[in-house]
């Protein structure tokens, strides 16, 4: 049931969410059916990049489904902030890397239409609701609050590094990543940092669930995608320091998501445990 501090969204925004989910199904196909989707993607992608992007789009699809299911300010605030950060960065990176796109293909025009429209819609709604406080949440204990700040800083700094210094930071990835893809990937980390910061400030149960689900799926599918792709490609050095660090990074993201899901299950406790 809606409450005064957690009202429902307008029907138009719910329709928009449903449309985004339909588009994300195509992106998720990069993970589940790369041979079918890769030839239709707006730019050329390698097998490893395809599965990595497909894993993220699968996580994003689950997050948008949560927004469609709850249709409330919480977790909608979190979903829209993360979507806005991601779409603005990817749109900007795409616009300054037009050479990667073939504008004779409809998929390219659809890509820019979807991303620019998504950034505009989420940004406009957030602007109109800028004075609305978050829904009532639980009080995070000091240990959780410190952890959330550390997580925000790590994801944010890593994302900024991928965006501003793509060659240097992406050189530590298990597969070759060009500057364009590195900058696209940066949006994933910066969106995660934005979501974690919101939960640090206020922790409604639905937002903990959605953020935890997103992080769990990103961590799990990133690692699973690397394993599945390399089973056919045989190009990853699994003992290399870069590979181990990458696995540790996404393993940590996934485990952090599980911790948030567990914390959300204890929502009715007076305080969240450490």
Sign of CA dihedral 138, 143, 145, 148: negative
Residue 2: band (very low, low, confident or very high) from pLDDT cuts 50, 70, 90: low
Contact 190, 156 (CB under 8 A): yes
Sign of CA dihedral 245, 89, 196, 256: negative
Residue 267: band (very low, low, confident or very high) from pLDDT cuts 50, 70, 90: low
More confident site: 42 or 268: 42
Q: Is the pLDDT of residue 25 over 70?
A: yes
Q: How do residues 203-241 score in pLDDT, each as one tens digit?
A: 888 899 999 999 999 999 999 999 999 999 999 999 999
Judged by DSSP in three states, 40 sits in helix
Q: How do residues 105-144 score in pLDDT, each as one tens digit?
A: 899 999 999 999 999 999 999 999 888 887 777 667 888 8
Q: What is the pLDDT of residue 94?
A: 97
Judged by DSSP in three states, 134 sits in coil
Q: What is the pLDDT of residue 270?
A: 44
Q: How do residues 48-94 score in pLDDT, each as one tens digit?
A: 999 999 999 999 999 999 888 888 888 889 999 999 999 999 999 99
Q: How many CA atoms lie within 13 A of 80 on its CB side?
A: 25
The neighbouring-strand residues paired with 6 are 3
**Longest Cα separation, the chain:** 58
Query: How far, in Å, CA of 79 to CA of 172, rounded?
Result: 29
Average pLDDT for 182-202: 95
Q: Give me the phi and psi of 8, to 5 degrees please.
A: -75, 160
Average pLDDT for 158-177: 96
Per the prediction, the chain carries an average pLDDT of 91
Residue 4: band (very low, low, confident or very high) from pLDDT cuts 50, 70, 90: low
DSSP type of residue 274: -
> Minimal CA–CA distance to 83: which of 109, 121, 51?
121
Contact 180, 18 (CB under 8 A): no
- The structure tokens listed for 33 are 């059916």
- End-to-end distance of the chain based on CA atoms, in angstroms? 30
Q: How many CA atoms lie within 13 A of 246 on its CB side?
A: 23
The CA R_g of the chain, rounded to the nearest whole Å, is 18
Q: What is the pLDDT of residue 135?
A: 77
Query: How far, in Å, CA of 78 to CA of 135, rounded?
Result: 11
pTM for the structure as a whole: 0.93
Q: Give me the phi and psi of 140, to 5 degrees please.
A: -75, 135
> Minimal CA–CA distance to 54: which of 248, 221, 230, 246?
221
């Amino acid at each position: 049931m809606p409450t005064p501090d957690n009202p429902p969204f307008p029907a138009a925004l719910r329709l928009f969410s449903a449309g985004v989910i339909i588009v994300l199904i195509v992106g998720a196909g990069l993970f589940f059916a790369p041979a079918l989707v890769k030839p239709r993607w707006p730019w050329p992608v390698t097998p490893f990049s395809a599965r990595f992007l497909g894993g993220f789009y699968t996580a994003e699809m689950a997050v948008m489904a949560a927004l469609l299911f709850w249709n409330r300010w919480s977790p909608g605030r979190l979903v829209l902030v993360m979507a806005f950060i991601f779409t603005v960065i990817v749109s900007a990176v795409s616009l300054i890397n037009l050479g990667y796109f073939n504008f004779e293909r409809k998929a390219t025009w659809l890509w820019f239409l979807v991303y620019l429209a998504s950034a505009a819609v989420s940004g406009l709604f957030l602007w109109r609701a800028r004075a609305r406080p978050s829904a009532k949440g639980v009080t995070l204990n000091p240990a959780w609050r410190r952890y959330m700040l550390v997580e925000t800083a790590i994801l944010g700094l890593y994302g900024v590094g991928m965006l501003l210094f793509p060659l240097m930071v992406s050189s530590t990835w298990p597969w070759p990543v060009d500057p364009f893809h590195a900058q696209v990937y940066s949006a994933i980390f910066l969106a995660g940092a934005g979501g974690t910061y919101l939960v640090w400030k206020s922790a409604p149960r639905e937002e903990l669930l959605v953020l935890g689900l997103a992080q769990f799926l990103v961590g799990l599918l990133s690692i699973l995608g690397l394993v599945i792709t390399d089973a056919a490609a045989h190009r990853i050095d699994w003992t290399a320091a870069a590979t181990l660090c990458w696995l540790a990074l996404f393993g940590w993201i996934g485990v952090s998501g599980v911790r948030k899901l567990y914390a959300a299950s204890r929502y009715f406790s007076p305080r969240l445990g450490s």
